[in-house]
Each structure stands twice: as structure tokens, then as C-alpha cells.
Amino acid sequence: MLFIVMLTGRCNLKCLYCGGTIEKSVMPHDVTYNPGDLFDFLNSFRNVSVAFYGGEPLLRDDLIREIMDSVRAKHFIIQTNGLLLNRLEKEYIRRFSTILVSVDGVREVTDYYRNGTYNATIESVRKISEFFDGELIARMTASQKTDIYRDVMHILKLDIFTHVHWQIDAVWSNQGVWRDFDGWMLDYSSGVSRLTDRFIYELKNGKVLRIVPFLGVLKAMLFESNSPPPCESGRESFAVTTDGRIVACPVVADLEWNWCGDIWNGISRKVEIIDPCPSCRYFRICGGRCLVSNREWFWGEKGFRDLCSLTAHLIESMKRVKKVALELHDQGMIDIRELYYPRFNNTTEIIP
């Protein structure tokens, strides 16, 4: 079981596609429950993983230490903008299984969306990469200025991140950010095709590019179906808000369908992916993509179908990789098990 613990609603940035600090009407800016109650709740589960989330969780580095010292977790994970990683001592950094850092690709794109933070973020990550042995994932937001091939390859070539993952900015942002989503989709699909070609080229040379959406889809094709949804929100992954509520997904803590209990009484219900996704031929791999996008069609039916088309293109692209990978495995050139990823729920949603 994965629990995403929201340590604060506050953020030290105000990114263009996000808005920064969470409204107090959604949840308090700081934890209002007794931390001991959280420890007791988390320790009641076997093989629990704990992910720190916000806002910016490192604004509460004191609470991070307290939780890591008090909870028997198999995995500790953090999603951060990376600017405050120096607040944690090496002994705590090393205890993370996965650190996800928000960076959107090349300097110009990252600085445009993320308040000019590219240099500071990369420098912060470079410092911890010198002693951190876990997964260090660049977590991109793909938006209007993103060239998915250029930006993913840029991050991989930095040689400081172990993986790169991205999510398409298709929930909150509107025409103020998106001026031509239809045109961008064509460029994005072309970029995914180019990345696929590059992935196959590197695979033939014995190298696996650690591109999370590619690997997550290949895992579903080669080993086991993705859960609906792949992030397991509402099934085996839940978030704890700053006031102690348990919700299926952390990004819509204010929506009632998302509420699943509290840390004092436990999980009272789970949340399932609903129609039309389960009837889709890609459902075994896509898993409905995202609990929020499945339930809340913020961009209407056209927007929902547009995202489905991008997911279908990704899956069809990975069918090409699967064919090559199986051939290479049979020839003894690669070990197919290298494509089994993720090995545990590290909060990467798989489907962008």
C-alpha cells in the first residue's frame, strides 16, 4: 500500500500551469492532526510505502524527518521542486527509494514555466546525485512550449537523472496556456514516434533508455496488465491531507467522490475507474489513464477523446518496441527483465 502524505499546502513557487499554494478551502496549509496519529495509522499496514507531497513538502523538512524516524516503511518517496533538498541531511536523502524532481526539459522551457529555476534545480540535483543511489526521476510537465523529443533527450543527456517521466498539462490549464492544443498534439505524437525510434536504436545497441511512460507500457505488454488506473489511486494508493482525511488522489482533495476515510477510522471505501474506459480495447494497458481525467472531463468530451488518442499513439508505438525487444531477447542481446518497470509504485502515473 502506498500513502501519499501531503505535508503542506504551501509552495515556494508559482508555476504557470499550477498556481502554487493550494487554496485553504481545499485543505489547511499545515498539518492540523497529531503526527502520532499518522504514525499509528501508517504502521498498521505491512509493506507500506510513504511518499511526501505538497505543496512543496520540503517546506516541512522537520516533519519529513519525524515520519522517516517513526514509520516502518518499505519505501520512502518524495515529489519536490528540488530547490530545498539541501535542507535534508545525507542520511535522510539516502533513505529515499525514489526522488522525483520537477524539471520541464531544456533551460528555456523550464524557466518559462517554473519561475526561472532551471540552473538552481539542476545544481541541486547534481549535488545529491553524487551520493544518492536510488531512483532520481526528472518529472516533466508537457505543455505548449514542450518539444517532447528534445526535452526528454536533453534530460537523459544530463546524465544525472536515472529516469525521465512526464505528464501532459491537460487538467487545469486552459487557453491562457494552451493556444493550439490540436496543433501541439500533432507535434507531440511526432515527437513520441521519434523517441520510439531512438529507444529502438539504443535497445539494439544493448542500452535501455529509462523513459518511464515507455517502460510502464512495455511492462503491461510483456509482463502484467496495468492497474486501473496505473498509479493505483483509490485501490492501493491513497493520499492523506493536512487535516487527516484520506483521499484517492491528492490533486482533487476537495471533491467528494474522492474521499475515502480518515487516519482515525481508516479507509472506508475505494474508488474505481468508470465507463467509458473499461470497455476500451486499450484498457488493459492504459488502465483508464488517470482517475481524475476519467471522472472529471474538465476539457469536455473532445478533450477527453484527444487525450485518448495520444494514449493510443503511445501504446501503438510501444508495440513496435515490444516486437524488437522480444527478438533481441531471443538472440541473447538483451535481458527482457530490464524492461520490467516500475518494480514498486513510486508515484509515476505511467500514462502521460
Q: How far apart are CA 243 and CA 210, in angstroms?
A: 37
Share above pLDDT 90 across residues of the chain, in percent, rounded to a whole number:
95
Q: Which residues contact 25 (CB under 8 A, 6 or more apart)?
A: 254
Mean pLDDT of the 159-181 span: 86
- What is this structure's pTM? 0.97
Sheet architecture: strand order including 2-6 = 163-168, 135-142, 98-102, 75-80, 49-53, 2-6, 237-240, 245-247, 259-262, 266-267
347 in a structural domain = no
Taking only the tens place, the pLDDT of each residue in 237-289 is 999 999 999 999 999 999 999 999 999 999 999 999 999 999 999 999 999 99
pLDDT above 90: residue 19 = no
State residue 18's pLDDT score.
Answer: 86
Quickly state the pLDDT bin for 178 (edges 50, 70, 90).
Answer: confident
pLDDT above 60: residue 300 = yes
Taking only the tens place, the pLDDT of each residue in 33-63 is 999 999 999 999 999 999 999 999 999 999 9
- Identify the weakest region by mean pLDDT among 34-38, 110-114, 160-164, 169-173: 169-173
Quickly state the pLDDT bin for 69 (edges 50, 70, 90).
Answer: very high
349 in a structural domain = no
- Are 249 and 233 a contacting pair, CB within 8 Å? yes
> Which amino acid, residue 160?
I
Half-sphere exposure of 155 toward its Cβ, with a 13 Å CA cutoff?
Answer: 33
User: In total, how many domains does the chain have?
Assistant: 1
- Are 239 and 339 a contacting pair, CB within 8 Å? no
CATH number, domain with residue 211:
3.20.20.70
Half-sphere exposure of 200 toward its Cβ, with a 13 Å CA cutoff?
Answer: 16
29 in a structural domain = yes
pLDDT above 60: residue 176 = no
pLDDT above 60: residue 175 = no
348 in a structural domain = no
Quickly state the pLDDT bin for 84 (edges 50, 70, 90).
Answer: very high
Strands (E), the chain: 2-6, 49-53, 75-80, 98-102, 135-142, 163-168, 237-240, 245-247, 259-262, 266-267
User: Please, what is the average pLDDT of the chain?
Assistant: 96
346 in a structural domain = no
Q: How far apart are CA 1 and CA 255, in angstroms?
A: 22
pLDDT above 70: residue 124 = yes
pLDDT above 70: residue 174 = no
CB atoms within 10 A of CB 198: 16
For the chain, state the CA radius of gyration: 19
Share above pLDDT 70 across residues of the chain, in percent, rounded to a whole number:
99
Query: Containing domain of residue 80, as a range?
Result: 2-339
State residue 170's pLDDT score.
Answer: 87
351 in a structural domain = no
- Are 104 and 113 a contacting pair, CB within 8 Å? yes
Whole-angstrom CA distances from 49 to 61, 73, 81, 225, 351 are: 18, 5, 21, 21, 21
Whole-angstrom CA distances from 104 to 155, 250, 311 are: 9, 21, 20
- Are 125 and 82 a contacting pair, CB within 8 Å? yes
Taking only the tens place, the pLDDT of each residue in 192-210 is 999 999 999 999 999 999 9
